[in-house]
Amino acid sequence: MLELVFATNNAHKLEEVQAIVGEAFVIKSLNDIDCQDDIPETGVTFEENAKQKTDYLVNKYGLYCFGDDSGLEIDALNGEPGVYSARYSGSRDMEKNIDLVLERMGDHANRTARFKTVISLYLNEQQHFFEGSIEGQIIKERRGIDGFGYDPIFIPDGHDKTFAEMSAEEKNAISHRAIAVGKLADYLKTK
Ligand code: ITT
């Protein structure tokens, strides 16, 4: 059975991906291969950051692997917070990060935004990318308590609830991450 390392230690992400990919591949975390390194994420695009993760594992361990990067792009803020989503305010404090987005957005009329995920896969000496995105609107104050990150201020197009007002099942059925992982899984099923 083929093994693939997922460049994450987020057990929740790993389980979600293993469930979608099925049993044809065994997916291991960084912990599983005893990698405690802080893998650099210094790119200016999601692609670059995702590829940095797989390049690191390929160079250091010679393993087949994949890694992801995601974030929120807001048109009125010229695509910010983008690759800086996790630390937009300078810290990982999501209260502060959301406050900064709301402050910079003010009463701006254009509130269009999208969540994006890019997955980099290195398999059989080939590099592949899989992308998922979901369009929506940034609202003026937080709504909902579920999910994580910027979920309380994002309403996906065609819905009237924020991601934070949706159940995990509802969000996972339409999310940027689910779309990208679905493409990865479809590709792996052909291998
Ligand atoms: P890793 O250790 O796996 O890199 P991370 O927190 O950096 O974890 P991501 O790269 O997937 O996770 O996402 C970067 C940031 O983008 C994340 O901290 C959130 O602020 C935001 N984000 C990503 N996906 C999101 C989602 O589904 N809902 C809300 N915010 C999200």
CB of 151 closer than 6 angstroms to any ligand 1 atom: yes
Q: Is the pTM of this model over 0.85?
A: yes
Q: How far, in Å, is the centroid of ligand 1 from the Cα of 148?
A: 8
Q: What is the pLDDT of residue 149?
A: 94
Q: What is the pLDDT of residue 12?
A: 79
Q: How many Å from the N-terminal Cα to the C-terminal Cα in the chain?
A: 11
Count of the separate structural domains present in the chain: 1
Q: What is the pLDDT of residue 19?
A: 83
Closest ligand 1 atom, residue 10 Cα: 3
Q: Which regions in the chain score pLDDT beneath 70?
A: none
Q: For residues 181 and 6, is the Cβ–Cβ distance under 8 A?
A: no
The whole domain housing 81 covers 3-188
Q: For residues 114 and 134, is the Cβ–Cβ distance under 8 A?
A: yes
Q: What is the pLDDT of residue 90?
A: 97
CB of 61 closer than 6 angstroms to any ligand 1 atom: no
Q: What is the pLDDT of residue 189?
A: 86
Q: What is the pLDDT of residues 39-60, one digit of tens each?
A: 999 999 999 999 999 999 999 9
Query: How far is the C-alpha of 142 from the C-alpha of 67, rounded, in Å?
Result: 30
Q: What is the pLDDT of residues 146-175, one digit of tens each?
A: 989 999 999 999 999 999 999 988 998 999
CATH number, domain of 155, equals 3.90.950.10
